[in-house]
Amino acid sequence: MRSLIDILDLSTEEIDSLIDTALDIIDNPEKYAHKCAGKKLATLFFEPSTRTRLSFEAAMYELGGHVLGFSDSGSSSASKGESVSDTVKVVSCYADIIAMRHPKEGAPLVASMKSDVPIINAGDGGHNHPTQTLADLLTIKREHGHFDGLTVGFCGDLKFGRTVHSLLGALSRYNNVRFVLISPPELTVPDYLKKELLDKKNLDYIETTDLEAAMPELDILYMTRVQRERFFNEQDYIRLKDSYILTPEKLENAKPDMRILHPLPRVNEISVAVDDDPRACYFKQVLNGKFVRMALILKLLEVD
Ligand code: CP
């Protein structure tokens, strides 16, 4: 039985295969409509979500399966003090697979050690978000056709942005990918990740505060929200929240085939005027997330 806790739990071959399955689902949805008949997905969301929870639910419905779960820990027995371990032990009596989001880093890993069914990490604190990475990779694949040789700019909250951490890990395994890490000095990628993912492999990256100077060289611009819920101090959040606001003017020097990604939700960091730019892909990412989660459910349930 396999769980997905960290994107690096999957080999690059497995990621490529999930992307291929997702592409086949896009082309032939009817082939997959009953693949999970009789199977149940539980969504245990101890932290708010729109996209991840609903796309998992839509994914399971489109595979012919059923969904149960909660979207608010306050309505579960966690509010009475039940542990994550006991919760998953119980839910694995009702469901064949569990997608879990939790504010504490490592909670889905603990859950996977106790669960009798596969656990999918749907975001754990400021740590990882592997299924968002699968959505990001499918989007890049559909837009650029490849990962090798891309220059990828990550911009915003690179400290607490779990989607950044997971996508960095995944892309660091492809050939000649260059990273431009754009953030205020307080919100840089944590040292342990730079060491593990970038320095150890001698990968090409720079850190900068200047989005506009970096813009012309980027093939992908991955914008992120400043993660208010991870700050200890509201004043720091207020000071940093509008560090970067992408506008049509700032895109004037961008490559014509650059693609703008954002895991969403957005707050202020991308002006709505950018939505009409053909390079804006963040709503395509949302849809891709459903298809690649369908592929992942099939893989973890070992459905042919
Ligand atoms: N991208 C993402 O995780 O969005 P939600 O928080 O709405 O699930």
224 has pLDDT over 90: yes
The phi, psi pair for 289, rounded to 5°, reads -60, -40
- pLDDT tens across 37-71, in order? 999 999 999 999 999 999 999 999 999 999 999 99
In a domain, 30, yes or no: yes
Same domain, 85 and 142: no
Same domain, 162 and 222: yes
85 has pLDDT over 90: yes
Same domain, 212 and 84: no
- Nearest ligand 1 atom to the CA of 53 is 8
pLDDT for 139: 98
In a domain, 42, yes or no: yes
Q: Domain of 53: which CATH number?
A: 3.40.50.1370
- Nearest ligand 1 atom to the CA of 264 is 1
Same domain, 244 and 256: yes
Q: Which residues pair with 128 in a beta bridge?
A: 124
Contact at 8 Å (CB) between 97 and 301?
yes
What is the pTM (predicted TM-score) of this model? 0.96
In a domain, 280, yes or no: yes
Q: How many domains does the chain have?
A: 2
Same domain, 145 and 213: yes
pLDDT for 68: 98
In a domain, 78, yes or no: yes
CA distance 181 to 29: 37
In a domain, 45, yes or no: yes
Same domain, 192 and 50: no
Q: Which residues pair with 41 in a beta bridge?
A: 67, 97
In a domain, 69, yes or no: yes
Token look-up 């919100």 returns 187
Same domain, 142 and 269: yes
3-class secondary structure for the chain?
A: CCCECCHHHCCHHHHHHHHHHHHHHHHCHHHHCCCCCCCEEEEEECCCCCHHHHHHHHHHHHCCCEEEEECCHHHCHHHHCCCHHHHHHHHCCCCCEEEEEECCCCHHHHHHHHCCCCEEEEEECCCECHHHHHHHHHHHHHHHCCCCCCEEEEECCCCCCHHHHHHHHHHCCCCCCEEEEECCHHHCCCHHHHHHHHHCCCCCEEEECCHHHHHHHCCEEEECCCCHHHCCCHHHHHHHCCCCCECCHHHCCCCCCCEEECCCCCCCCECHHHHHCCCECHHHHHHHHHHHHHHHHHHHCCCC
pLDDT for 240: 87
30 has pLDDT over 90: yes
Same domain, 107 and 80: yes
Same domain, 163 and 105: no
Name the residue at shortest CA distance from atom 5 of ligand 1. Answer: 49
Choice among 21, 35, 40, 51 that is catalytic: 51
- Nearest ligand 1 atom to the CA of 54 is 8
Question: For residue 143, what pLDDT band results from cuts at 50, 70 and 90?
Answer: very high
CA distance 107 to 143: 34
Question: For residue 229, what pLDDT band results from cuts at 50, 70 and 90?
Answer: confident
Q: What is the mean pLDDT of residues 97-112?
A: 97
Same domain, 106 and 215: no
pLDDT for 256: 98
50 lines ligand 1 (CB under 6 A): yes
pLDDT for 21: 98
Same domain, 168 and 244: yes
Name the residue at shortest CA distance from atom 3 of ligand 1. Answer: 52
pLDDT for 33: 98
293 lines ligand 1 (CB under 6 A): no
Question: Mean of the per-residue pLDDT values for the chain?
Answer: 97
304 has pLDDT over 90: no
227 has pLDDT over 90: no
Q: What is the mean pLDDT of residues 10-38?
A: 98
Question: For residue 232, what pLDDT band results from cuts at 50, 70 and 90?
Answer: confident
In a domain, 150, yes or no: yes
Contact at 8 Å (CB) between 99 and 130?
no
In a domain, 2, yes or no: no
CA distance 181 to 292: 26
Choice among 52, 131, 133, 163 that is catalytic: 52
Domain that holds residue 205: 130-285
Same domain, 200 and 239: yes
